[in-house]
């Protein structure tokens, strides 16, 4: 199996100068791993590192694009401190992406920033929601019509516990394996889901296929066990970047993580032909997103 994780040392970064090898790796679905780029919480923020900081009814704590904190517990002072910490990570993540991929900058759209204080191993979820299964990211209620999901992760575990991932085969191989078993797209069903406000916008055939691939991967026990994959531990004080709609991944263990999602139109990629939309369009032989 071709290596799916590219390690990059901080001293090799050239701010604002695009590195063709890193761009090609990212846009082919690889993970860019920065072992010495860390987000460092302030000493007074150490008290925020407790599972109790999360509202039990929420999956994660998030700060939306308007600066509204969601999913946190505690009084106003505690929540304000938490929001300020997440905002600092957001600024650092945006700077990193702007430095690595200057061509993306004008096309990026800010999505929520999350703080994840829950121990992965003990989190109870349905199979469809269980991120310990190899999957590509696709969201049932938020169709994106081919827009990319660029994500920055940073392990901030204060006890030195790594974040462990499995990283699987390339997107084209995933699609070729599972496309023959996906259900056909139904335009009337997509319209009904939107009319009932189950989806925030009209689900395109692309969104339908991505959801079908996501679910098929997670529900195939043999694939989870035997698919080409590598296991990798991201230590405390490290950061990594990938297109999570393209990188087959599973989160196996760890606690205390920051994550920033940035959405990017395919046209703003350096190589739009490497996107999942382009790959699925070639495999199906038809347009999957209406003009």
Start-to-end C-alpha separation, the chain:
37
Contact 28, 273 (CB under 8 A): no
Q: Supply φ then ψ for residue 259, to 5 degrees.
A: -145, 135
- In b/e form, how buried is each residue of 211-245, taking b as 16+ CB within 10 angstroms? bbbbbbbbebeebbeebebeebebebbbbbbbbbb
In this prediction, residue 13 carries a pLDDT of 65
In this prediction, residue 15 carries a pLDDT of 64
In this prediction, residue 8 carries a pLDDT of 84
In this prediction, residue 216 carries a pLDDT of 97
In this prediction, residue 2 carries a pLDDT of 67
Whole-prediction pTM value? 0.95
Residues in contact with 290: Cβ distance below 8 Å, sequence separation at least 6, in sequence order: 204
In this prediction, residue 255 carries a pLDDT of 97
Ordered domains of the chain (ranges, CATH): 5-283 (2.60.120)
In this prediction, residue 9 carries a pLDDT of 75
Cα-trace Rg, the chain: 19
Q: Widest CA span of the chain, in angstroms? A: 56
Averaged pLDDT, groups of 10, the chain, 291 residues long = 78 71 95 95 96 92 96 94 97 94 94 96 85 95 95 97 97 97 95 95 96 97 96 97 98 98 97 98 96 77
Pairing of strands 61-63, 5-7: unpaired
């Amino acid at each position: 199996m071709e290596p799916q994780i590219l390690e990059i040392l901080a001293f090799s970064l050239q701010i604002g100068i695009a590195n063709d090898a890193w761009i090609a790796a990212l846009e082919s679905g690889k993970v860019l791993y920065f072992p010495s780029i860390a987000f460092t919480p302030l000493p007074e923020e150490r008290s925020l590192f407790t599972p109790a900081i999360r509202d039990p009814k929420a999956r994660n704590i998030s700060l939306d694009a308007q600066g509204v904190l969601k999913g946190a517990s505690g009084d106003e002072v505690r929540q304000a401190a938490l929001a300020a910490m997440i905002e600092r990570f957001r600024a650092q993540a945006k700077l990193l992406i702007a430095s690595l991929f200057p061509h993306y900058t004008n096309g990026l759209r800010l999505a929520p920033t999350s703080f994840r204080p829950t121990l992965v191993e003990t989190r109870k979820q349905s199979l469809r929601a269980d991120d310990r299964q190899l999957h590509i990211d696709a969201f049932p209620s938020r169709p994106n019509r081919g827009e990319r999901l660029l994500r920055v992760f940073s392990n901030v575990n204060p006890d030195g516990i790594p974040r462990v991932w499995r990283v699987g085969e390339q997107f084209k191989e995933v699609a070729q394996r599972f496309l023959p078993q996906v259900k056909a797209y139904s335009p009337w069903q997509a319209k009904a889901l939107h009319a009932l406000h189950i989806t925030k916008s009209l689900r395109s055939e692309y969104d339908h296929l991505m959801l079908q691939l996501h679910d098929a991967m997670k529900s195939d026990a043999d694939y989870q066990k035997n698919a080409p994959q590598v296991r990798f531990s991201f230590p405390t004080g490290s950061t990594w970047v990938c297109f999570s709609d393209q990188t087959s991944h599973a989160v196996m263990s760890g606690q205390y993580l920051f994550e920033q999602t940035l959405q990017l139109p395919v046209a703003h990629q350096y190589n739009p032909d490497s996107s999942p939309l382009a790959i699925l369009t070639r495999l199906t032989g038809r347009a999957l997103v209406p003009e």
